[in-house]
Amino acid sequence: MRRVYLEQEDGKRPHLAGDGRCDSPGFNAQYCHYTFMLDDTKEILHTELVQSTEATSSGAMEPLGFRRGMTELLDLGLDVEVMTTDRSSSIRKIMREQYLNIQHEFDIWHTAKGFWNKILTKGEKKDTAILLAWTRSVVNHMWYSCATSKGDIEALQNRWKSITHHVCNEHEWRDDDGKQHRCDHPPLTAQDQRMRMWIDKDSVALQALSSLVLNERLLKDLNQMALFKHTGPLENFHSALLKYLPKRQYHGMRERCHLAILDHNENIVKRKQATTVTGEARFKQVYCKKSKQWILKKVFTPHTTQFVGDLIERVLESRRNPNIKFKTPTTSLALPQPASPPNIAPVPKPSKETAKALFQSHF
């Protein structure tokens, strides 16, 4: 927390991202971790553990963890400026009713994934099947519109809506209000023009796509994505948490989760992109089965667990501190010395003098 206070002294109010992870999906979940991450460094700041017995239902565990965590962080004096979450209706309600002075942003990944599935569903019919050829481009355009808006909601909305013109091979147009608009991309070459399956302006397919792109609820949600925030690193943390907290491992859950946080924070800050002997950044190519494409990924320096040694050293320091009184005497907690392995030689060791005499006789 000290680090966060320092940032506040610099005049920056922290931006956080939060996400929950339950031990199993649906109604059988026994517990849920709700984790808060600092958006700029991706360090985990706080986590709340909620057991199913504490909530009215499995679905209520995540909002309960969120509410508890927010209370804890704000009580500690954290002056949060932006909070990014998924679009869960219960968390939206909590933010709207209790944290009006904190800007609530949505993670773009969840929205983009949902939108991808909606286009796939719309494209199932014969007269709208052309939409399937545009799925990736339209979803990429959503990412692009959010990434380039830099908080300007109007710019984001205009850029996003422009896709309904672009797919018809219309790259300059006049709106109903008489305003002139154009796509951001440079003029298309003749080859670009030939490469695309342009959609007819009067087609059912364009109507179907427009109904998705211009959906009022989506347009409203996009207003909360203009800062281009993500909760993706939290999902990575939740996957890594499995190493410390395997499913159905209920013993010491809180402590195991804290170890996972120490591991995450050490590596998220220290690990840099690896370089070759000549100093060039290293990459590797990985085949993605889902997208059926080769993807370029950064290669990072090796994962470290320096925090384990630090923790042991701090525990030993406390034991050595004469001002701290322990219930159990320190002597009984002395670390067991590893027993020397038995000598495996089948004949007794000769004396050093005999050995030396034998060694010299070889010459």
Number of residues that bind Zn ion (CB under 5 A): 3
Q: How far is the CB of 226 from Zn ion (least distance, A)?
A: 21
Q: Assess 141 for contact with Zn ion (CB under 5 A).
A: no
Q: How many Cβ atoms sit within 10 Å of the Cβ of residue 36?
A: 24
CA dist 107 and 17 (Å) reads: 9
Radius of gyration over every alpha carbon of the chain, rounded to an integer in angstroms: 29
For residue 58, the 8-state DSSP code is: G
Q: Which is nearer to Zn ion, 67 or 166 (CB)?
A: 166
Closer CB to Zn ion, 139 or 268, in the complex: 139
Which residues in 178-207 contact Zn ion (CB under 5 A)?
183
Contacts of residue 248, Cβ cutoff 8 Å, sequence gap at least 6? 23
By beta-carbon proximity to Zn ion, the closer residue of 183 and 212 is 183
**166 counts as binding Zn ion under rule CB under 5 A:** yes
For residues 68 and 171, which CB has a smaller minimum distance to Zn ion in the complex?
Answer: 171
Looking from the CA of 155 toward its CB, the CA atoms found within 13 Å total 12
Instruction: Mark the segment that binds Zn ion (CB under 5 A) among 39-47, 162-170, 204-212, 288-296.
Output: 162-170
Structure tokens at 322: 């004469």
Q: Is 195 helix (H, G, I), strand (E, B) or coil?
A: helix
Stretch that binds Zn ion, among 78-86, 158-166, 223-231, 308-316 (CB under 5 A): 158-166
* Part of the chain binding Zn ion (CB under 5 A), chosen from 26-34, 169-177, 236-244, 260-268: 169-177
Nearer to Zn ion, 21 or 165 (CB): 165
Residues 5-44 interacting with Zn ion (rule: CB under 5 A):
none
Give the whole-angstrom CA distance, residue 58 versus residue 357: 79
Q: Which part of the chain contacts Zn ion (CB under 5 A), choosing from 119-127, 171-179, 290-298, 316-324?
A: 171-179
CB 160 to Zn ion: min, Å = 13
- Among residues 267, 198, 291, which one has the least CA distance to residue 43? 267
Q: Which of 68, 87, 161, 171 binds Zn ion (CB under 5 A)?
A: 171
DSSP state, residue 180: E
Piece of 39-47, 175-183, 254-262, 345-353 that binds Zn ion (CB under 5 A): 175-183
Q: Positive or negative CA dihedral for 162, 163, 165, 166?
A: positive
CB 106 within 8 A of CB 228: no
* Site residues for Zn ion per CB under 5 A: 166, 171, 183
